[in-house]
Amino acid sequence: MAGHSKWANIQHRKGRQDAVRSKLFSKLAKEITVAAKMGDPDPEKNPRLRLAVKEAKSQSVPKDVIERAIKKSQGGDAENYDEIRYEGYGPSGVAVIVETMTDNKNRTASTVRSTFSKNGGNLGETGSVGFMFDRKGEVIYPASAGDADTVMMAAIEAGAEDVESSEEGHVIYCEDVDLNEVSTALEAELGESESTKLVWKPTTTTELDLEGMQKLMKLVEALEDDDDVQRVTTNFEASDEVMAQL
């Protein structure tokens, strides 16, 4: 969805500009530790860990940080995290999915609920907005990877479902369970991707004006500031004019 892609682009630019880099690194390292603890510490034998490492590298996480995160998973002092998904509505009725990893469920639930309330949203029950999204694998390539036809052919050969190409680059979608296999095939054909991860892809969107976008960004930024929150997904849609004003 265009809104989904535009939000990713906003976040990508913000990540480069803000001093939230260390927080991002910490969240990516947590995902690596959890993935390594749940399976094999060798990325080649653990698809989830391989994807976590690939995403960390795409965000310029240093090699030593990645290695420390894997090593931490094998130690007796590694924390036990629960993966919990929260769903609710933000300003203007935008659907919001919040994915967390926490060592204290009560703390996280309280913080997420409070953040929704303080920023014009309402936390709902599990499943309250999930039906508006599909769980998909997402692989992003820069425009330099090739023209739309070249990338489309590579995606079809790799077993992907859909490609969205623009001047900014190419977003390739596949079934969530196929992400490891599809991303490996694409890498062999197109080179290293900018990003490879599992996402919630909106099936319906909510149109926002400038004021609505500003309120939504405030909510999302407040949620992402929580160390327990791994990622936030929304189903907003906004015109190019509104995006330009942001």
d(CA 138, CA 178): 10
Are 33 and 46 within 8 A, CB to CB?
A: no
In the chain, the domains with their CATH numbers are 2-73 (1.10.10.200), 84-125+204-245 (3.30.70.980), 132-202 (3.30.70.980)
Phi, psi of 137 (to 5 degrees): -90, 140
Q: Is the pLDDT of residue 9 over 90?
A: no
pLDDT category, 8, cuts 50, 70, 90? low
Q: Per residue in 178-214, pLDDT tens?
A: 999 999 999 999 998 988 999 999 999 999 989 989 9
d(CA 213, CA 203): 19
Neighbours of 211 (CB within 10 A): 11
The confidence score (pLDDT) of residue 135 equals: 95
Q: Per residue in 121-152, pLDDT tens?
A: 999 998 999 999 999 999 999 999 999 999 99
The confidence score (pLDDT) of residue 7 equals: 53
Q: Per residue in 215-243, pLDDT tens?
A: 999 999 999 999 999 999 999 998 888 88
Outline where DSSP puts E strands in the chain: 82-89, 95-102, 122-123, 133-142, 162-166, 169-175, 195-202, 206-207, 229-234, 236-237
